[in-house]
Structure 1
């Protein structure tokens, strides 16, 4: 948001997201103070994309596997 009940212009924050079957923003998942993204790939692997604090991402890290049986990840 823009802080005034509106939206800023869209911005690309990565590529290859089409290979993911679920994407969510859990907030600060790893406790470093930056907003992170979790994504599940078609093989059921859950990946953490840690935010770098500058509108980008650090290297992804595997959180776990066998998540493909989950229909709702909150």
Structure 2
């Protein structure tokens, strides 16, 4: 088990989404408690595996499943 950071309790859903941006690295989608969906692009660095989050948009709290 490898810790990849803290603060993940800010989200009510985390989804391993595959390679969303088609750069060959796995990405992560996270939905916060306000229904905002965020993209964490994978960067291939084992010690710090994600880039800064990118806001995709709001209104995602109406869905029970993302994928």
Unaligned runs of 5+ in 1: 1-9
Which is bigger in relative contact order (C-alpha 8 A, separation at least 6)?
2
Runs of 4+ in 1 over 3 A off after TM superposition: none
Per the normalisation by structure 2, the TM-score is: 0.91
Separation (CA, whole Å) in 2 of partners of 1:32 and 1:14: 22
Q: Is 2:27 the counterpart of 1:69?
A: no
- What are the Cα deviations for residues 11-59 of structure 1, in whole angstroms up to 9, with x where unaligned? 0112111110100001101111111000000111000000111131111
Tell me the TM-score normalised to structure 1 length: 0.83
Q: Give the secondary-structure state (helix, strand or coil) at the position aligned to 2:9.
A: helix
* Equivalent-residue separation in structure 2 for 1:65 and 1:51 (angstroms): 22
Match of 2:2 in 1: 11
Q: How many residues align?
A: 65
**Whole-angstrom CA distance in 1 between matches of 2:44 and 2:24:** 8
Larger Rg computed on CA atoms: 1
Aligned Cα RMSD in Å?
0.8
1:59 aligned counterpart, secondary structure: coil
